């Protein structure tokens, strides 16, 4: 039984080939424009630098998914927007109503956000970071309460979605389109 357990860890498949340059270029363009616009909106909202870095980190992971793998389930609009919003609600709620140590709150926020995303079919891995930011963020983030869900999280997710719709559909490649589905 132990040998079988460790045998599973060997893998067995080969690494897939590198994507063509055109796909890499479109991914770069989408990630650049998306993160740039989220950063600009964050700066215009007068958020402090630390909070802006947190949000760019959370959306940075989203950028990799929606621009680098636009056909993946995790990348679809329902997952992008729903995953971030649900995770933000979970994170804010955990922080507001449970008087526990921040290490426990962080673990609860991420794990419960994961359950909520699974349950709602909105699994988006960067949502885990969003839930964690709601717990470990600055006093400014904590003072926002549920407004954090709408702005910066909802606003940022919508900006990223709009850029994904434009950039991923500019390519002449019929296989590069976005989204696969909405709901």
pLDDT in tens, 18-43: 999 999 999 999 999 998 998 888 77
Q: How far is CA 46 from CA 39, 53, 154, in A?
A: 11, 13, 17
Query: Which pLDDT score is estimated for 171?
Result: 83
Give the residue ranges of the chain where pLDDT is below 70: 46-56
Query: Which pLDDT score is estimated for 47?
Result: 62
First-to-last alpha carbon distance for the chain, in angstroms, is: 42
Q: Which pTM was predicted?
A: 0.90
Query: Which pLDDT score is estimated for 123?
Result: 97
Query: Which pLDDT score is estimated for 86?
Result: 98
């Amino acid at each position: 039984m132990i040998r079988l357990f460790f045998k599973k860890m060997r893998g067995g498949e080969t690494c897939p080939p590198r994507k063509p340059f055109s796909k890499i270029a479109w991914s770069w363009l989408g990630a650049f424009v998306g993160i740039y616009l989220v950063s600009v909106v964050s700066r215009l909202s007068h958020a402090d630098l630390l909070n802006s870095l947190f949000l760019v980190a959370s959306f940075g992971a989203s950028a990799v998914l929606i621009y680098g793998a636009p056909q993946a389930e995790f990348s679809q609009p329902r997952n992008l927007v729903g995953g971030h919003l649900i995770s933000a609600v979970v994170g804010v709620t955990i922080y507001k109503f449970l008087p526990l140590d921040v290490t426990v709150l962080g673990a609860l926020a991420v794990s419960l956000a994961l359950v909520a995303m699974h349950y709602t079919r909105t699994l988006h891995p960067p949502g885990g970071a969003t839930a964690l930011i709601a717990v470990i963020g600055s006093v400014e983030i904590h003072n926002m309460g549920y407004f954090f869900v709408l702005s910066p999280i909802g606003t940022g997710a919508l900006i990223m979605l709009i850029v994904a719709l434009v950039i991923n559909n500019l390519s002449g490649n019929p296989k590069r389109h976005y989204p696969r589905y909405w709901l």
